[in-house]
Copies of this chain bind each other. A is one copy, B any other.
């Protein structure tokens, strides 16, 4: 029987890459997608497309955080733009306890289907401002799962895998290109427009990543724009 893993899938670069990474590692992947009042629903649609493309079953969990507390949940708050990419303070897009909430649901899903692994694409290098992207957090959470879950008390703790935690965006993209991740389906922009805005933190970070990887972002190739003039 194939080993099973739950993969947190957001529709962005990192989680798409971790999905293909887990599959290459021999896991049967089950995607978990959240609908929690993001500013736009485009990333949810993209997450679904990525799950389907990778032939992974998926589940969507809906919840709301009625207390808000993040620019990412409030359509009226202006999002940070054109700042230096490397963060030293916690950005306004921090959603209180988001990754803890996400991973708690993942643990629940994993227990219900008998999966012994959870994968998350979190990384601490380019976005060190988020406390729930730091390695120490994942170590503490691992222990929480050992102590607080049925599987843990039976000696079969669910392992939390954050394989990109110390990788740069460029390294993640290089890994993903080797794994043939369909990056054209991924969405990074904080805005939900027809095309990425190119200005928000997330767009800038993505551009920097593709530049570091020495690759072209397939999501930016607009139909008809790439001319075959040379052949």
Contact = CB atoms under 8 A, between A and B. Distances in A.
A37 to B, nearest CB: 12
A99 interface: yes
B153 A147 contact: no
The size class of the interface chain A forms with chain B is 35 or more
Chain A binding surface SS class: helix
A131 to B, nearest CB: 4
Contact of A108 (B90, B98, B139, B143): B98
Nearest to A63: B63
A134 B144 CA distance: 11
A113 interface: yes
A131 B152 contact: yes
A101 B99 contact: no
The 7 closest A-B pairs by CB, nearest first: A69-B112, A137-B148, A97-B108, A96-B111, A67-B112, A63-B63, A96-B108
Interface of A: 59-69, 90, 94-101, 104-105, 107-109, 111-113, 131-132, 134, 136-137, 139-141, 143-150, 152-153
Given A98-B108, A100-B107, 8 more contacts: A59-B66, A61-B65, A96-B149, A97-B149, A131-B152, A140-B140, A141-B144, A144-B144
